[in-house]
Structure 1
Amino acid sequence: MTLEVEHLDSIEEANRNQWNHVVEGSDLGCVFHRYEWLLAVEKGLDREPRHLVVSKKGNPIAVLPNVVDELGPVGRLKSIHPGFGGPIATTDEERAIGLLLDAVAERCDGRILFNQLRPYDQGFVRYHGLLRERGYAVAVRSSRFVLDLTRGWEPILEGMDSKRRRGIRRGHDADVEVVEEPVNAPVLAAFHDDYVRVMDRVDLSAFPSSFFAEFERLDERIVIFSLRVDGERRGMYLYVVDEEQSGFQHLYSAVTADHFEYHAPELLHEHAIRWAIDREHETYELRGSTPDFRNGVFRFKEYFGARPIPLLLWERGRPAPALSALNLARTLHRRYEPPWK
């Protein structure tokens, strides 16, 4: 049976239901593959999409979302950012995935000198052979942290560091409550204000408010919790529901330094974990960190009892020698900016 490859320069060129049907039918599909997330990235961040679709008898059976990631004067085709991507298929797996990987070369033109596939699930290692044959090298530059919710709340609490458990207890000594906020424009704007302060504190670039505004389109998949002290917000966390992987993922923080006295991180995580358990999600995700135990973020997430899982990524240069130059630049950067700094 003939399989056809199509290039899409906007997710809006795809049929929403057909695209999401592939995501839902693939074992490796996740919320970040979904049409709605890709639309939020495209509209809210003005990223240039270069998606790929494989169809059989006119019906999509495999997809590979991509956006152009700017690296100064050159560009990199990335499977999705922010979020995770990688090729997924529902049937004719070997042929469909092979066609997607071969078609990536056609999407890397002009100043696009690199291609990076950054999947969420380590199950993507099943495609390592196909990727290696096409010149991709595998690397680990970050990790995610996962709690197994099927154990229930009490074993999870017992598995936390004593400081985290103490923070939860002390937080409840005050008159506090955690509430679920509506995912609307005023709440998202308020969240973004404190989120920017958080990112400034850790010296990282913040996504613009236009991206957060797009989360209204994802209302059923976005959850925002706020800590209330005497009726006033004292920190918020934003989550995404990953039904495809039965997970509940912490995405962004709006807990500023002045919220720490109320033990906002501990109380928000506690509430979110319990909320996810009640809804029978299997995993709770504290998101990523540099894979280095000397890093403060790494240690903070470990103290919640979360298990670090390496995030695999595959890269290649186009042409191939370009990747060597990029890796040299990374080496020089690490020499002058250690990962634990």
Structure 2
Amino acid sequence: MSFLSRWKTALKTAEGKFFVFLISGFLVFSLFVLAGAFLIDPHEDFGTGLVEPLVLTNRSEKLEMITSLDEKPEILIFGSSRTFTMDPAQIFELTGKRAFNASVSYGRSEDHDAIIHYLAEQQIAHPETLIIGFSAGAFNNDPIETQLLNNKYLKQYLAEPPTPLRKRAPRTLKDKLNAQYIADMFRAVFFHASGFPTDRVSFLPNGMQDTQDSPYDEAKIDDNYYRALALFENVSEPQWERLEAFRSLARYSIDNNFQVKVVLLPMPSITRARLIEDTDLIAIEERLITFFTDEMPDNISFYNFSEVQSFGGSEEGFNDPTHPNIANTRLITEAIFY
């Protein structure tokens, strides 16, 4: 009897039928999970989500907010979540000029370059001044944020066209699909039906995060040190592509006649000391300082506030190892304009 004949005979037994049922169930479940991951898209990896993702989607949100403003801002704030609490109202008090906080989660040079190109070319905003806050970790080797790759307005301004979704999606699913991802799919559906937690990040009409300072907690800073450390994993110098993205922004600032104030943001001294010991932080910062002070045009000003005392800040003015709180951010803002 041939192998094929024996196989057909085996499948007719009770054990064989159970095996077929088991394999069929596994295949159906796998297809369900793959389709759900792509359509629910809990981490905004594909831009296909049928429900609101668990992650912040503030690139799209901030573009919608600034487009709806009655008066165009004269000053724009760019950066990551570290500048979410920079207050346009304070800037108006200091300068008499309207401002908008256009910072986005994990904002990096390619985000800033794409956003200013889009806003200016679409005549949504043509600011006199950009304020760009960053940490040395913003020039690391992390891939471009998928929310930028998926944004139909911004992705056209990237130096290299993003890989088509049909090619990117299988690799993303291969890298990210695990038990936690599947759990996040169900969480996204649950929150869509029942509402998101009230502590979800939200923004005021001027783009500033709607939040209040929490009490200083040194244990929280110590416990979350790994988040700061991750920004410098396998990094010995600023990524060349991100420096090039900033050069593109610098050229655009000259062509469109606006000023740029670049701010190297602080972190708690205890975090900074550990990073100096564990990473190449000093070498990375020195390269960035040279880049911004020696290689940029005259319309770009650089403020090195990497250490708390450089702007008269407080060691207790941090929410975690990487985020200055509102009080320290207000001092940084004052130092920029005075």
TM-score (norm 2): 0.25
Rg (Cα) greater in structure: 2
TM-score (norm 1): 0.25
